[in-house]
Amino acid sequence: MTTEDLTDDATSSESLAKLEANLAKIEGLTQRLVNALANKRSVPKDLQGPDQELYVKAATNFWTEMMANPAKMIEHQVGYWGKTVKHFVEAQQELAKGNLVAPPDDTPTDKRFANPLWQTHPYFNFVKQQYMHNVQAVHAAVAEIDGLDDKDRKRLEFFSNQIVDMFSPTNFLATNPDALTLAVETEGQSLLDGLEHLVADLEASGGELQVTLADKSAFKIGENIATTPGDVVFRNHLFELIQYRPTTETVCETPLILFPPWINKFYILDLKEQNSLIKWITDQGYTLFVVSWVNPDASYRDTDMTDYVQDGYLTAIAQVKSICDVKKVNTVGYCIAGTTLSLTLALMKSRKDKSINSATFFTTLTDFSDQGEVGVFLNDDFVDGIEEEVQKTGILESFFMSRTFSYLRSNDLIYGPAIKSYMMGQAPPAFDLLYWNGDGTNLPGKMAVQYLRGLCQSDNFANGEGFEIAGQKLHLKDVDVPLCAIACETDHIAAWKSSYRGVQKMGAKNKTFILSGSGHIAGIVNPPTKVKYGYWVNDDLSLSPEDWQDTATQHEGSWWPHWESWLRKKSGKQVPARSPGDSSHPVLCDAPGTYVSATPDK
């Protein structure tokens, strides 16, 4: 026996041992997978997709159109067949010539197909081109269905796109060159790692597939995110009030209260020092208070919008006035918290309460006549399902909210991460923004239904009979304090044009509107040091949204300094910096407090 034989035997033994170990792992993972799926949570049918009536209506109109205008339908089909057969013939001709190359490819560029093999390898290119032809055919068929109203058409386009995206060849191992190549390079280890990630995600989500987007072990709230120094100076059943410690010797006399959305947690504005809006505001010389909302459990089932206004907003305003010994405060509301701030302002006007000196709205909808992309989930089929769910559980769990918003960007938030995690075995990245995105909150059942029915669906506040808070019907026109609104150009949750129309309907004489580049989060969390995205301003708010943007002045970099210049004029003289709390508001604990990390019972 030679040395080479011994080496071969050793290599074979190592490979066999590795194979046996991997087989044992697969057996254990398979059992865990079976257990996770066997205990799968029950998701109401109405929350799994649109009512079948939408597809029936589309199919009926398609059939009617085909009978009335068969030539049009035949033209569509022949065009699709022609592209498909032509591509097949071209591929066959190249192979018959002995050329292992892809035929000509004029399909659109798509970042999902970035691997060069999609362009050069005859198999992968054939699969890609056929998929792209199918996509074009589906889009053309949906676009030319007559007899649908705008809302149904938008929904049909959205949900047909979901189906199209789901069947992308990148989502399947046999047609994903990146995953196949890595599986060969790692002797299958990447697939085994991916299976472990898949099973772990199913176990964590009650048998439902919810992709982990970030390394949860990489962050700890209060240690490496949400670290701006401050103190909790008040607490009730709805929120903790954080007062941030001053970093300047003097501050503006009028304090600022920031109300974040309770759909997510406040620390999106305090992820890290470099992009923390909370720290930046404090460093500009303001006494800043931030509300940290409770994460509700089933005991909050009867908590409604009136509770959020009275026990949340009005209580926080009163506490800040008392702590700072002032008659007026400035306010900021982000997303749904901005919507509720506008309700609070309308209520305060009816009560002749002049405690608010100015209001700022981040990505806020108050006029829901055009619901934007999220509107596909606001029809009765979904809202009926939500109402049925919260009647049983008392809350709208964060699971449903997270899944809904993920489908608005499914390739970025579902399929792309799933490919990396499950097919390529890559661990989720240590990315603070994605960590926050996965740290969702529940919504009280009654409040959620009121918001969806009365604001989103009926649009009662801006264009209806008024939205009722504390027994009073409130109207958007009664929001009359000086205000500044910041919307984001590519926001898929709060469409900027709808935000703009809401500002137009507010009764304030002093209005400023800023349009930031980017989307719902990145457009707001955009520190001046990054010099990213840019923003637009235009003093003429009588224009249509399109004309406003066309004639607006564009600026480079962050809108933060522009807004701060506006805010400073509303913030009074300089006074000595204030330490958190006072004799009647002792410090309860350090920021970021206890509510932000609490895990409620289901």
Q: Catalytic positions, please? A: 335
Between 263 and 408, name the one with better pLDDT. 263
Of 202, 171, 233, 153, give the one whose Cα is nearest residue 37.
Answer: 202
Coil, helix or strand for 470?
Answer: coil
- Is the Cβ–Cβ distance between 292 and 242 less than 8 Å? yes
**Which of the residue ranges 30-34, 44-48, 178-182 has the most confident prediction, judged by mean pLDDT?**
178-182
Please say if the pLDDT value at position 138 is more than 90: no
Residue carrying the six token digits 């067949």? 81
What residue type is assigned to position 238 of the chain? L
Coil, helix or strand for 260?
Answer: coil
pLDDT in tens, 34-92: 887 777 777 776 666 666 665 555 555 554 555 455 555 555 555 655 666 666 677 67
What's the length of the chain? 602
Upstream peptide bond of 592 is cis (omega within 30 degrees of 0): yes
Q: How confident is the model at residue 3 (pLDDT cuts 50, 70, 90)?
A: very low
110 contact partners, CB below 8 Å, separation of at least 6? 132
- Is the Cβ–Cβ distance between 27 and 197 less than 8 Å? no
CATH superfamily of 232-367+450-586: Alpha/Beta hydrolase fold, catalytic domain (3.40.50.1820)
Q: Which helix (H) or strand (E) holds 129?
A: helix 122-143
HSE of 587, CA atoms in CB hemisphere, 13 A? 12
Residue carrying the six token digits 């457009």? 523
**Cβ atoms < 10 Å from Cβ of 100:** 11
Distance CA 384, CA 69 (A): 37
What does residue 172 show for φ and ψ, rounded to 5 degrees? -125, 135
Determine what percent of the chain is predicted with pLDDT higher than 70: 87
Please say if the pLDDT value at position 19 is more than 60: no
Of 210, 118, 179, give the one whose Cα is nearest residue 420.
Answer: 179
What would the DSSP string read from start to end of 213-257? -S-GGG--BTTTBS-S-EEEEEE-SSEEEEEEPP-SSEEESS-EE
- Domain ranges in the chain are 48-175, 232-367+450-586
- Is the Cβ–Cβ distance between 339 and 373 less than 8 Å? no
- Is the Cβ–Cβ distance between 349 and 480 less than 8 Å? yes
Distance CA 415, CA 407 (A): 10
Residue carrying the six token digits 């398609």? 62
Of 359, 354, 308, give the one whose Cα is nearest residue 331.
Answer: 359
**Cβ atoms < 10 Å from Cβ of 554:** 12
Q: Dmax over Cα atoms in the chain, in whole Å?
A: 100
pLDDT in tens, 265-301: 999 999 999 999 999 999 999 999 999 999 999 999 9
pTM of the model: 0.87
- Chain centroid, CA 506 distance in Å: 26
Q: Checking DSSP bridges between strand 589-590 and strand 230-235, what pairing results, if any?
A: antiparallel
Distance CA 155, CA 379 (A): 9
pLDDT in tens, 387-418: 999 999 999 998 888 888 888 888 888 899 99
- Pull the structure tokens for residue 117: 């093999």
Residue range 536-556: mean pLDDT, rounded: 97
Mean pLDDT of the chain: 88
* Radius of gyration from C-alpha coordinates of the chain: 28
What would the DSSP string read from start to end of 547-578? HHHHTPEEE-S-SHHHHHHHHHTTS-SEEEPP
Please say if the pLDDT value at position 170 is more than 90: yes
**Which of the residue ranges 123-132, 343-352, 379-388 has the most confident prediction, judged by mean pLDDT?**
343-352
Distance CA 477, CA 507 (A): 5
Distance CA 332, CA 257 (A): 6
Of 421, 423, 451, 452, give the one whose Cα is nearest residue 438.
Answer: 421
What would the DSSP string read from start to end of 321-368? HHHHT-S-EEEEEETHHHHHHHHHHHHHHHTT---EEEEEEES-----
